[in-house]
Structure 1
Amino acid sequence: MTVEFVNLNTFQKRLDAKKKIAKEKVFVSLQRSADEVRNHAVKSILQGNPTGVLYKKYRPRRDHRASAKDQPPASDTGFLASNISATVKKSPLVMVGEVRSAAKYSKHLEFGTATMGKRPFMRPALIKSRKKILQIFRTNGLIS
């Protein structure tokens, strides 16, 4: 008994097209998910209600109320919030959605230091975004 394949090239082209569409859907889903986490992180910083210590700043002259321990950081200059970015890293086998802050002090805020309590903003943003992320992947038909 022999098996003969007819239109193998056509089948291969269709299969390649489906792979390409699937990769595009994954990329779009990861980008939207990373943006969702980023938006939650920025929102928690900008719309936070700081309850910490009140500091007097002199250049320019103003008051700044810091956030309390375990609360998202209070925005002072806006540098932290404006330097949070969301990207998707691609390699031939793996795609990773990445949300990161370019502010050097963001890790100290997120995890705390020996003298300052933690003021997390990234991890809570990821936790708050979890349902929306799953919905994004379901909408694109990537998970059921």
Structure 2
Amino acid sequence: MFAVGRGPRDTFRGRMHGYGSSGFWKAVGEGLYECADHVRAEAHRSITAGSQSGKNHKPSAPGQPPNNDTRTLADSGHVVQPGPTEARVVFDAPYADDLEFGTSKMAERPFLRPARDKFRPKALEVLRKRINAALRTE
């Protein structure tokens, strides 16, 4: 008589079964929220880095992130999760869209898209770690 252990096929089947579990989708949602929060933090950092408020405030150059003056823009950033597998970074200062995309009279001063692009390579790793941890505990 011989004993049969878990082979690669059994391991694979077990992991595939885990993808249908609520723990998997919870991990996806948590990972997306974590990624969005990293993007929010990087956008906040780009707005506040090196800027001065008050009489020493200097507007940013076109194409550069806006310089912080009143902290309204920087403090208006937050993450929302409209669904279990969605996460959005929102800056709801009244002029956030005008700065990010520009207007007919003002060049764009993007802060959110560069933050997203900077974190993009790390985002997959964050999601991978969350999902693998969830599948290991199933």
Larger RCO (CA under 8 A, 6+ residues apart): 2
Tell me by how many angstroms 1:41 deviates: 0.4
**Are 1:105 and 2:107 counterparts?**
no
Q: What aligned pairs does 1:1-144 form with structure 2 within 5 A after superposition?
A: 19-48=21-50, 62-90=55-83, 95-141=85-131
**4+ aligned runs moved over 4 Å, structure 1:** 15-18
TM-score (norm 2): 0.75
Listed as ranges, the gaps of 5+ residues in structure 1 are 1-14, 51-56
Q: Name the structure with the higher helix share.
A: 2
Tell me by how many angstroms 1:24 deviates: 1.1
TM-score (norm 1): 0.72
Q: Match of 1:89, as an amino acid?
A: P
Listed as ranges, the gaps of 5+ residues in structure 2 are 1-16, 133-138
Q: Match of 2:122, as an amino acid?
A: K
Q: Match of 1:41, as an amino acid?
A: A
Alignment length (residue pairs): 116
Residues in 1 aligned to 2:45 and 2:36: alpha-carbon distance in whole angstroms:
14
CA contact (8 A) 2:81 2:88 kept: yes
Q: Name the structure with the higher strand share.
A: 1
CA contact (8 A) 2:51 2:69 kept: no
Tell me by how many angstroms 1:141 deviates: 3.2
CA contact (8 A) 1:48 1:72 kept: no
Tell me by how many angstroms 1:17 deviates: 9.9
Tell me by how many angstroms 1:88 deviates: 1.7
Residues in 2 aligned to 1:141 and 1:86: alpha-carbon distance in whole angstroms:
20
Q: Root-mean-square deviation (CA), in Å?
A: 2.3
Tell me by how many angstroms 1:74 deviates: 0.4
